[in-house]
Amino acid sequence: MLVLITYDVNTEALAGRKRLRRVSKLCVDYGQRVQNSVFECNIDAMQLRVVKDKLLKEINFETDSLRFYFLGNNYKSKVEHYGAKASFDVTDPLVL
């Protein structure tokens, strides 16, 4: 299923900047960055549980925001892209 993960981490303090890096690195492990704090992740239910648990342990609930958008398996007709950064197929293998 395609899951869009978005976050907003308060970076006013050093601890926030460190949290931002950790959150970003976690998301990179599960999907493709499409904007600064937005990742498209083609993951199954178990992977979703794992990444969600990891991210919830990282964020500060008082200052940060984390959102999951569930686009499902029939996402291709739900996503339109215009402008910079050409679109890609999230089902293609990630090259590391």
Q: Over the stretch 26-57, which tens digit does the pLDDT of each residue have?
A: 999 999 999 999 999 999 999 999 999 999 99
State yes or no: pLDDT of 86 exceeds 80. no
Taking the chain, what is the end-to-end CA distance rounded to the nearest angstrom? 21
pLDDT at 9: 96
